[in-house]
Amino acid sequence: MENTIKLLGNVKNPKTGKTLGDEERWVNAEANENGQVIITYKRDGISPQEKRQIEDDIVDALKSQYDEDKILVKTVSSSETPSAQKPTAAHANLKVGHGVNGNKKRIPNVKKVIAVSSCKGGVGKSTVSVNLALSLKKLGNKVGILDADIYGPSLPLLLNKKGVKPEATEDKKIRPLEAYGLSFISFGLFIDEGDPVIWRGPMLGGVLNQFFFDTKWDELDYLIIDLPPGTGDTQLSLVQNTEVDGVVVVSTPQSVAIADTIKGLKMFQQVNTPVLGMVENMSYFSPDGKEEKYYIFGKDGVKNISTELEVPFLGHIPLEMVMREGGDSGKPYMADDTYKDNEGYASYMDIAEKVAKIGKEKGFFGKLFK
Ligand SMILES: Nc1ncnc2c1ncn2[C@@H]1O[C@H](COP(=O)(O)OP(=O)(O)OP(=O)(O)O)[C@@H](O)[C@H]1O
Ligand SMILES: [Mg+2]
């Protein structure tokens, strides 16, 4: 680690020309069991463009020592820097293995973990999770999906596997099910629909941890996590314990409220999880064979908020009856090539390409996070 610290010595704040060490911005450098090195610095007053420049410079500085895709750069603002980690002198504050991410674990065998989140319920999170997973698969990726909604699991229905019980592997791990070329696991596969919801709460931590760390995924390029709605303790503990590479926030143009959105984004900020962007679902409706668009829930609500918060806008998904029917009948929309000329189909492909691209560029924090 000493060498890592030395290599970072020349990384500068492009705005001031001073090194990050001179500006006492370094918070932590640590290596984890996956061979990754995680560098954390304070981003106060640094714009998204400058942030990208700094990230590039950090990667350049370290690439002689680590593979580029093993170098992770994280940022914190002063208000979230624990006082024990406050730097006392340039570089001296770099500690090994005591970072803000110290307790987060990576899900084994998964390259990128993407959580799909929403502030409100019923906006189409599960539908987007499944169809985004299928679109990423169409781009040539191996994709899994994990239903973390313990109170209202919907994946067994959406993927037509209701009542199927997952098997244990020889080493007593959970073997995910396969559907439409996706691997998936859901709490719904372990309970009967009639079971009272009340006992689910206390089980939550244990069950989710088992899902995250005891499911034996075959090598996956992406694991999509369908989160429960809102920003409750469940979501927070989930993202605190698991290394999530990026978040996709879903909303309808109507149900997007700036206060809720900021609250949601802040939750991810607290745990250093990049927000890849926002998706507007149920954007408009066009009757069959007609050009007109009816903006039933208002126009561009999500797009406008994402512009305001400088979070990437990933795209509009129209209301299509076949999307709802596909969900209810366990045959997801993007698994059915009949719809390949529909606008929704093109939107999903476009969103998947953007997610892959933005994710590759190591995620993105909005203006909110300066
Ligand atoms: N673009 C769309 N066009 C038509 N129907 C849609 C669309 N998006 C979602 N739906 C339908 O809306 C309903 C709610 O969607 P979904 O269950 O995916 O929402 P959710 O955000 O996951 O809900 P919850 O908060 O309960 O988990 C479902 O019946 C789904 O089929
Ligand atoms: Mg859902």
pLDDT tens-digit map of 121-147: 889 999 999 999 999 999 999 999 999
**Position 354 confidence tier, pLDDT thresholds 50, 70, 90:** very high
From 324, 325, 331, 336, give the residue whose CB has the most ligand 1 atoms within 8 Å, as the site to mutate.
Answer: 324
Shortest-distance ligand to the CA of residue 120: 1
285 with 160, same domain: the answer is yes
181 with 256, same domain: the answer is yes
Residue 225 has pLDDT above 90, yes or no: yes
135 with 178, same domain: the answer is yes
The pLDDT assigned to 370 comes to 32
Number of CB atoms found within 10 A of residue 331's CB: 16
30 with 147, same domain: the answer is no
Could you tell me which residues come within 8 angstroms of residue 369 by beta carbon, excluding any fewer than 6 positions away? 43, 75, 77, 265, 269
Task: Report if residue 105 sits inside a domain.
Answer: no
Q: CA 274, 225, 316 angle in degrees (round to 5)? A: 70
Q: Collapse the DSSP code of 368 into the 3-class scheme (helix H, G, I; strand E, B; otherwise coil) and give the result.
A: helix
Q: Are 226 and 149 a contacting pair, CB within 8 Å?
A: yes
59 with 179, same domain: the answer is no
Alpha-carbon torsion (228, 234, 239, 244), positive or negative = negative
The pLDDT assigned to 233 comes to 65
Mean pLDDT across the stretch 216-241? Answer: 84
Task: Report if residue 189 sits inside a domain.
Answer: yes
User: Nearest Cα to 279, choosing from 292, 261, 295?
Assistant: 261
| Higher per-residue pLDDT: 258 or 249 | 249
> How many domains is the chain built from?
2
Rounded CA separation 350/342 (Å): 13
Q: Which atom of ligand 1 is nearest to the CA of 121?
A: 25
Q: Which secondary structure element, helix H or strand E, spans residue 126, and what is its range?
A: helix 125-138
**Position 289 confidence tier, pLDDT thresholds 50, 70, 90:** confident
257 with 313, same domain: the answer is yes
The pLDDT assigned to 206 comes to 65
Mean pLDDT for the chain overall: 83
**Position 85 confidence tier, pLDDT thresholds 50, 70, 90:** very low
From 127, 159, 260, 316, give the residue whose CB has the most ligand 1 atoms within 8 Å, as the site to mutate.
Answer: 127
**Position 184 confidence tier, pLDDT thresholds 50, 70, 90:** very high
Number of CB atoms found within 10 A of residue 132's CB: 27
Q: Which atom of ligand 1 is nearest to the CA of 149?
A: 27
User: Within its chain, how far is the Cα of 51 from the centroid?
Assistant: 20
Here the contacts of 45-53 (C-beta below 8 Å, separation 24 or greater) are 45/15, 45/370, 46/13, 46/15, 46/75, 46/370, 47/15, 47/370, 48/310, 48/364, 48/365, 48/366, 48/367, 48/370, 50/13, 50/14, 50/15, 51/75, 51/365, 52/361, 53/14
Q: Which atom of ligand 1 is nearest to the CA of 344?
A: 1
Task: Report if residue 90 sits inside a domain.
Answer: no
What's the CA-to-centroid distance between 239 and ligand 2, angstroms? 17
Task: Report if residue 104 sits inside a domain.
Answer: no
Q: Which atom of ligand 1 is nearest to the CA of 129?
A: 18
Which strands form 177-179's sheet, in the order they lie side by side? 177-179, 182-186, 143-147, 220-226, 110-117, 246-251, 275-285, 313-319
Rounded CA separation 104/237 (Å): 10
The Cα-based distances of 363 to 119, 153, 210, 219, 312 in angstroms read: 20, 28, 27, 22, 10
278 with 159, same domain: the answer is yes
The pLDDT assigned to 72 comes to 83
Enter the tokens of residue 87. Answer: 């730097």
User: Nearest Cα to 72, choosing from 314, 310, 243?
Assistant: 243
Rounded CA separation 251/286 (Å): 19
Residues lining ligand 1, Cβ inside 6 A: 118, 121-127, 149, 152, 154, 229, 281-282, 317, 319-320, 323-324, 327
Token look-up 């064979």 returns 289
- Domain CATH for 77: 3.30.300
Expressed in percent and rounded to 5, the helix, strand and coil fractions of the chain are 35, 20, 40
78 with 180, same domain: the answer is no
Mean pLDDT across the stretch 327-333? Answer: 96
Task: Report if residue 99 sits inside a domain.
Answer: no
Beta strands 177-179 and 275-285 are unpaired
55 with 189, same domain: the answer is no
Enter the tokens of residue 370. Answer: 């300066």
| Higher per-residue pLDDT: 328 or 367 | 328
Q: Are 253 and 298 a contacting pair, CB within 8 Å?
A: yes
Mean pLDDT across the stretch 198-217? Answer: 69
306 with 350, same domain: the answer is yes
Eight-state DSSP code of residue 331:
-
- Domain CATH for 193: 3.40.50.300
What's the CA-to-centroid distance between 125 and ligand 1, angstroms? 6
Could you tell me which residues come within 8 angstroms of residue 73 by beta carbon, excluding any fewer than 6 positions away? 38, 39, 40, 41, 54, 55, 58, 59, 362
Task: Report if residue 92 sits inside a domain.
Answer: no
Rounded CA separation 360/358 (Å): 5
Rounded CA separation 19/188 (Å): 51
209 with 145, same domain: the answer is yes
Q: Residue 286: which domain range?
A: 110-369
The pTM (predicted TM-score) of the whole model is: 0.73
